Amino acid sequence: MTEVFIKTIGVFVAVYSYAIMINSPTKYLIWAGVSGAVSGFVYFICTAGQIDVVIATFWSALTAGLISHIFARILKTPVTMFLIGGILPTVPGNGIYQIMHHILENDRAMASYYLAQTLEIAGAIALAVFLMDTFFRIFRRGDWKQDSLRYIRKGERKK
């Protein structure tokens, strides 16, 4: 369990450093690091519990989307400020490296395996971000509200 916490601290430092590198505003650096650390923690807990990498990535990206939307509303800033750092720990960089390695070694079976896994991970990240964004769009407060399958302005009558 201490290994998970050490990895989580490493993810915080990595995402914090990445946020500095892409010139994020200084007042949001800690929050971006927290978003990445929470996402990484969920990923590490899932993989430590023998959950498949694709499913662990999905839960991690879902958590990153939730944290990002919460931070964006609290700090009144765009969601992408925290979402990019939040999904950074789950991006399948090793899978892409393994694909190239096995292609160069002329091992097509392993290259195909890593290609399929990398595409599944990328799809899981995209699906999780889409689901969380849709959830927050449906339940947001504002001028529009959802009425069954269509949107109406507050105060308008149903036809």
Spatial separation of the C-alpha atoms in residues 32 and 79, rounded to whole Å: 10
Give the number of other CB atoms < 10 A from CB of residue 30.
Answer: 12
Which pLDDT score, from 0 to 100, does residue 69 have?
92
Helix (H, G, I), strand (E, B) or coil at 145: strand
Q: Give the β-pairing of 144-147 and 150-153.
A: antiparallel
Contact 69, 38 (CB under 8 A): no
Beta-bridge mates of residue 150: 147
C-alpha 148 chain-centroid distance: 29
Encode the chain (159 residues) as per-residue pLDDT tens digits: 889 999 999 999 999 999 999 999 999 999 999 999 999 999 999 999 999 999 999 999 999 999 999 999 898 889 999 999 999 989 988 999 999 999 999 999 999 999 999 999 999 999 999 999 988 888 766 554 544 445 555 555 555
Query: What pTM was computed for the model?
Result: 0.82
- Give how many domains the chain has, as a whole number: 1
Contact 63, 42 (CB under 8 A): yes
Residue span of the structural domain in which 16 resides: 1-158
